[in-house]
Amino acid sequence: MTQPSAARKPADSSSNALYGGKGTRRITVRDITVAKERGEKWPMLTAYDAMTASVFDEAGIPVMLVGDSAGNCHLGYETTVPVTLDEMTMLSAAVVRGTSRALIVGDLPFGSYQEGPVQALRSATRLVKEAGVGAVKLEGGERSHGQIRLLVESGIPVMAHIGLTPQSVNAMGYRVQGRGEEAAQQLLRDAKAVQDAGAFAVVLELVPAELAAEVTRVLHIPTVGIGAGPETDAQVLVWTDMLGLTGGKMPRFVKQYADLRRVMGDAAKAFADDVVGGTFPQEEHSVH
């Protein structure tokens, strides 16, 4: 596990406008576009509730994704597939309320945009109007071109997501994507298709590092990697994985920066021991 940040050399963020920047207004997709022009890398974390999001906001995380990974990391489902638009709207609204600086991206869940552009617009409009997100994310490359185009034409910024797309787990499983010449060419076509449709950024999940580097070179919109090597413009991790809360075996691409599962479990046991042993509450915790 990585040492706490106090023990590490801090990154030089003085010239990075997104992370460590001075502005107090909310970050916009325009800032993200400028970061690519300047060659600045940036971090993105998922968030599913107001309190956690406020911690990340204070830490300077410039972009937060209310991912449908909430399904398995927050709501107790096995995959992202059962997550509903009502759930995503509620979680996204909480994250927006808990933050003042980060750009909040709300994920469109499975079944809320696959029917076509009009369904996608109806669903995205809910996330923008009811939850207040600054952008939405949806999965798919060439197959989602029409949806992305209509949302962007309607004034809703879109982050695309290609490579491994977890909403298609029943069809593709959790396997590295883009391996082999044909699959690599398809990934490149998908990347160009979402850029052509107007997406402001694209997530590349679980693709070979060399291919992710090539996509990053070819596109003028930023790439956000997860399991896609070091050369993407941004990196995203699921917060419960990154802080060691998820439990179980982690994918190879996860770097664990803390062990919250142990910290929380130890604290819960200490509280229970105090209650059972009669050492909590004490005089300072009591009123008379």
CB closer to ligand KIV, 221 vs 282: 221
* 273 carries a ligand binding annotation: no
CB closer to ligand KIV, 149 vs 161: 161
| Cβ-based burial of 261 (10 A; exposed 0-12, middle 13-18, buried ≥19) | middle
SS3 sequence of the chain? CCCCHHHCCCCCCCCCCCCCCCCCCCCCHHHHHHHHHHCCCEEEEECCCHHHHHHHHHCCCCEEEECCCHHHHCCCCCCCCCCCHHHHHHHHHHHHHCCCCCEEEEECCCCCCCCCHHHHHHHHHHHHHHHCCCEEEEECCHHHHHHHHHHHHCCCCEEEEEECCHHHHHHHCCCCCCCCHHHHHHHHHHHHHHHHHCCCEEEEECCCHHHHHHHHHHCCCCEEEECCCCCCCEEEECHHHHCCCCCCCCCCCCCCCCCHHHHHHHHHHHHHHHHHHCCCCCHHHCCC
Report the distance separating Cα 199 and Cα 160, nearest Å: 6
Contacting residue, 21, 67, 134, 222, with ligand KIV by CB under 6 A: 67
* 68 carries a ligand binding annotation: yes
Interaction between residue 65 and ligand KIV (CB under 6 A): yes
Interaction between residue 226 and ligand KIV (CB under 6 A): yes
Contacting residue, 53, 188, 212, 238, with ligand KIV by CB under 6 A: 238
Say how many CA atoms lie within 13 Å of 209 toward its Cβ: 5
* 31 carries a ligand binding annotation: no
Q: Choose the binding region for ligand KIV from 6-14, 65-73, 211-219, 264-272 (rule: CB under 6 A).
A: 65-73
Interaction between residue 236 and ligand KIV (CB under 6 A): yes
CB closer to ligand KIV, 38 vs 255: 255
Place of tokens 């600086």: 101
Contacting residue, 27, 40, 42, 46, with ligand KIV by CB under 6 A: 46
* 69 carries a ligand binding annotation: yes
Q: Choose the binding region for ligand KIV from 33-41, 64-72, 183-191, 211-219 (rule: CB under 6 A).
A: 64-72
CB closer to ligand KIV, 71 vs 198: 71
Interaction between residue 107 and ligand KIV (CB under 6 A): yes
CB of 278 to ligand KIV, least distance (A): 44
Q: Given the residues 130, 142, 205, 231, select the one marked as catalytic.
A: 205
CB closer to ligand KIV, 219 vs 226: 226
CB of 185 to ligand KIV, least distance (A): 23
Binding residues with ligand KIV: total (CB under 6 A): 12
CB of 49 to ligand KIV, least distance (A): 14
Span between the terminal Cα atoms of the chain, in Å: 46
Question: Catalytic site residue 205?
Answer: yes
Q: Which has the closest alpha carbon to 254: 222, 227, 229, 288?
A: 227
Binding-site annotation, residues for Mg(2+): 68, 107, 139
Binding-site annotation, residues: 68-69, 107, 137, 139
Catalytic center residues: 205
Residues that bind ligand KIV (CB under 6 A): 46, 65, 67-69, 107, 161, 203, 205, 226, 236, 238
